[in-house]
Each structure stands twice: as structure tokens, then as C-alpha cells.
Amino acid sequence: MKIKVLANDGISQAGIDLLSQNNYEVITDNVEQEKLIDYINENNISCLLVRSATKVRKDIIDTCKELKLIGRGGVGMDNIDVDYAKEKGLHVINTPAASSHSVAELVFSHLFSCVRFLHDSNRNMPLDGDSNFKTLKKNYSKGKELKGKTMGIIGFGRIGQETAKIALGIGMNVLYTDKFVGKTQINLNLANDKKISFDLESSDMTELLKNSDFVSLHVPAQKSYVIGKNEFNLMKTGAGLINAARGGVVDEKSLIESLDSGKLAFAGVDTFENEPKPSVKLLMHPKVSLTPHIGAATNEAQDRIGIELANQIMTLVKE
């Protein structure tokens, strides 16, 4: 009998194909949270794969006796009771490296957009471009280049380091702060097999905030804000903030106040405090570039995630 894998929040076709070729049955039904326990038990599911939407708490772990593995397609594991699952003998896996570059590219999508006002011009050109072209041209003619500016990165794990690589590659200076990463070397693999290395050393948070033109967060979910009113006050006037990490690491009320006062020039936001119902004030703010938590959502990253999950399943859960 085939081992059944429920990918409740989806999995790439590459992952499905690899598992199917090795005698695993992959089910991609999207089961509602409150019906999940019954579904898992009725269908003899051995492996449950989730992303950020589905929560795997003690009730599922205790009640679904056939479950052998819980997998998270991505980095953060805050929607899974990881320690409890391991205590009960379940394998818990994730794919920490697969989406790092995709998230880093999204950071710079927001950053490039904001320094040239694309997030705002794309709202206003369809409305007034034919009747008010000269005024819009004047409004959006004070953009900035990223080259030569300083990028401050809070959290220097895989995604933070991928973000640093892009920053260094376009000629930016990089500061970072991380409790677990002191001195480190960043290796850039450029086109035509060209390679270059940079030696970097961690700064403290205050130094980073005071000296960065742009700040990007790459930390896991926290119990309290990483960036709040005090941190905004330390930042340069006219700086920009990007959050493609987790909702709740930035105090959104203080963020809006900082944007309104002119302390911050802009923010790029991919993750929100109240997902899936973000603050309307934040969504409507003209100085905010917005995406709906899509940092890892590229075709390439999803294929890497699916294949990595499949390989780990085939290693850990066998007939």
C-alpha cells in the first residue's frame, strides 16, 4: 500500500512527480482546519505538509495516530508545535534554504519600486496620466539610486545573507545585526563564473539603525516587536523599511506614524500583523509598497521546496 502524503497547502508538481515515482500517494485537497483531524484519520495520512495557512497543534498531533511526519514548505515553523511533535516521535521537517533567494529578490523589488516611486506612480498613472502627465512627472522626478547607499539587515541567516549578496552586487554598503552570526564571509557567484568575497562583521542594533539608509528584517516570529517607536526614532530621517519576514515583528501603528511624520520615506510590506486581514490604514497608505505574503512564491522556489520535501520524506518515512 502506498504511503499517503497530504499537501494541505499545496506542493509543486516537481515534488508530486518525485514522490509519485517512488510509490507515494500525494493528495492536494485543501482541507479546512476544523475538518483536518477527521480527514487525516479517515484517509490514513502518514505525512502532512503545510505552508503558513494550516496550523499543526497538539490536537492534531495527539489525535492522528497514523501521522509520522509533519513538513513545512518554507522556513518559519511557528504554525507547528515542533517540540511537542518531536516528543511524540514525529519527524518535523522544513526547507530553510529553498526560498531564500526568492525572498531576497522580493525585498529588492520593493526597494527599487519605492526609491523611484513606482508603487505610487502605478496607482496614479492610470487615473491621471493622460490629464496630468507633467504634474506626475514632477512629483516622481526626485528618486534615489541604491548604489552607494547603506543597507541594514536585521537577522543574518540564509535570507539575510542572500539579501546582502544582492545589495553588495549593486554597489551598496551592508550592515547587519544578528545574535548568532559574528564575523562572516559573503561569497558572490556572478555571471561567467566570476566570484568575489566580502568579509563582514555584525553591528549592534543601534549602530545599524542610525547608519542605514534602508532597513530590511529577516527574523522569525517574535513575542514582541523588533521595530517599534523607539527603533523608528533611531533611524535616519528619510530612511526606508522593508518587512518580508513575519507579521508582528514591526509595530504597524508606529510605522504609520513614522510615515505620516516624514521620519520614514517609505515602507515595503509583504507580511502583516493581522493576516489575512491586514490593517486598512496600512493598505491604503500612499508611502507603502504592498504584496500579500509572497516572498517564497516563485516557480523556482516552489520547485526547490517540493523536491526538498520529497527527498526528506523518502528518507524518513518508508513502507
User: On the CB side of 178, how many CA atoms lie within 13 Å of its CA?
Assistant: 25
- The sign of the CA dihedral 46, 51, 53, 55 is positive
How many angstroms separate the CA atoms of 24 and 319, rounded? 9
Which residues are designated catalytic? 246, 275, 293
For the chain, 319 residues long, give each residue's pLDDT as a single digit of tens: 899 999 999 999 999 999 999 999 999 999 999 999 999 999 999 999 999 889 999 999 999 999 999 999 988 898 999 999 999 999 999 998 899 999 999 999 999 999 999 999 999 999 999 999 999 999 999 999 999 999 999 999 999 999 999 999 999 999 999 999 999 999 999 999 999 999 999 999 999 999 999 999 999 989 999 999 999 999 999 999 999 999 999 999 999 999 999 999 999 999 999 999 999 999 999 999 999 999 999 999 999 999 999 999 999 999 7
pLDDT of residue 151: 98
Q: Are strands 264-269 and 288-290 parallel, antiparallel or unpaired?
A: parallel
- The sign of the CA dihedral 182, 295, 206, 116 is positive
287 and 262 Cβ atoms separated by less than 8 Å: no
pTM of the predicted model as reported, rounded to 2 decimal places: 0.90
What the chain holds in terms of domains, given with CATH numbers, is 3-98+299-316 (3.40.50.720), 100-290 (3.40.50.720)
SS (H, E, C) the chain: CCEEEEECCCCCHHHHHHHHHCCEEEECCCCCHHHHHHHHHHCCCCEEEECCCCCECHHHHHHCCCCCEEEECCCCCCCECHHHHHHCCCEEEECCCCCHHHHHHHHHHHHHHHHCCHHHHHHHHHHHCCCCHHHHHHHCCCCCCCCCCEEEEECCCHHHHHHHHHHHHCCCEEEEECCCCCEEEEEEECHHHCEEEEEEECCCHHHHHHHCCEEEECCCCCCCCCECHHHHHHCCCCEEEEECCCCCCECHHHHHHHHHHCCEEEEEECCCCCCCCCCHHHHCCCCEEECCCCCCCCHHHHHHHHHHHHHHHHHHCCC
> Euclidean distance between the first and final Cα of the chain, in Å?
8
Name, in order, each residue with C-beta under 8 angstroms of 98's C-beta and a sequence gap of 6 or more.
Answer: 74, 296, 301, 304, 305, 308
pLDDT of residue 285: 97
Backbone φ, ψ for residue 205 (5° rounding): -60, -45
Residue 302, Cβ density class (10 Å: 0-12 exposed, 13-18 middle, ≥19 buried): buried
Q: Measuring CA to CA, which residue among 239, 238, 237, 232 is closest to residue 206?
A: 232
How many angstroms separate the CA atoms of 116 and 121, rounded? 9
How many angstroms separate the CA atoms of 156 and 104, rounded? 12
